[in-house]
Amino acid sequence: MKGIDCAAPLTAEKARKLASEGMQFACRYVVPPKYTWKRLTKEEVAVITAAGMRIGSVFETGANRPKDGALAGLTDGGIALQEAKLVGQPLGTAIYFAVDYDAQPADYSAIEDYLRAADGQINGYNAGVYGSYSVVEEMARRGACKHFWQTYAWSGGKKSSRANIYQYKNGVRFDDNESYGNEGFWGVKKISEEDAEKIIRFLAAGYGSTEDPEAREEFHRLADEVRKAAGMEV
């Protein structure tokens, strides 16, 4: 899927325009009230979902905040939990914590401690990390979190196979991204999970009735689309 991330809140007009351009998700900030200029609100959630886009939640109050380790993670995780609940983010979805600088190997243990501490505070949600190729690879190797959002910045042209989201371009209004599943997005729920499960069972029957690789791939794709429409993990 194609999507964006941005600091400035989206208006209804901007959200509709982005959706008309093929954008399917917007990553926005769950941060304390003093960051009004970039903070996600319930009103903006309604605007984004009305446009037909899903939402990715990200926490960032300082570019190199994760260098402060576990104590910072405990604080930030607690705030992220409050903000996620305030905007109505469903349990089981992701909150990404940003490592928004050129982190070096000497920082990795502190970053891991930060993520684990934050994850321990966001009860019912799953922690993700935003960062460079090296940060994504190392945090995945260490099992520090469940979701990974890579930026092309500080990545030396490398792209991690672990990435659920890839930020490939920075812009003036917003940054361009693409995603590959298991992102932990939320917001748009067009059908119930119960109906989705029924549809998926029919698709599974079709999958099992054919040996054609292309047909099986299409059944699999359709099942994932149904899961997305119901707000389920892919």
Domain(s) of CATH 3.20.20.80: residues in the chain: 2-179
Does residue 98 contact residue 125 with C-beta atoms inside 8 Å?
Answer: no
CA 61, CA 76: separation in Å to the nearest integer?
Answer: 9
User: Residues 88-102: pLDDT tens digits?
Assistant: 999 999 999 999 999
* CA separation, residue 101 to residues 60, 96, 110, 150, 185 (Å): 12, 15, 14, 12, 24
Question: DSSP label at 89?
Answer: P
Residue 41 in tokens = 């609100």
Farthest CA pair distance, the chain? 57
CA 139, CA 111: separation in Å to the nearest integer?
Answer: 8
Residue 221 in tokens = 């794709």
Tell me the whole-structure pTM to 2 decimals. Answer: 0.82
- pLDDT per residue of the chain (234 residues) written in tens, 0 to 9: 999 999 999 999 999 999 999 999 999 999 999 999 999 999 999 999 999 999 999 999 999 999 999 999 999 999 999 999 999 999 999 999 999 999 999 999 999 999 999 999 999 999 999 999 999 999 999 999 999 999 999 999 999 999 999 999 999 899 999 999 999 999 965 577 888 899 999 899 999 999 999 999 999 889 988 886 776 766
Give the architecture (CATH level 2) of 2-179: Alpha-Beta Barrel (3.20)
CA Rg, the chain, in Å?
Answer: 18
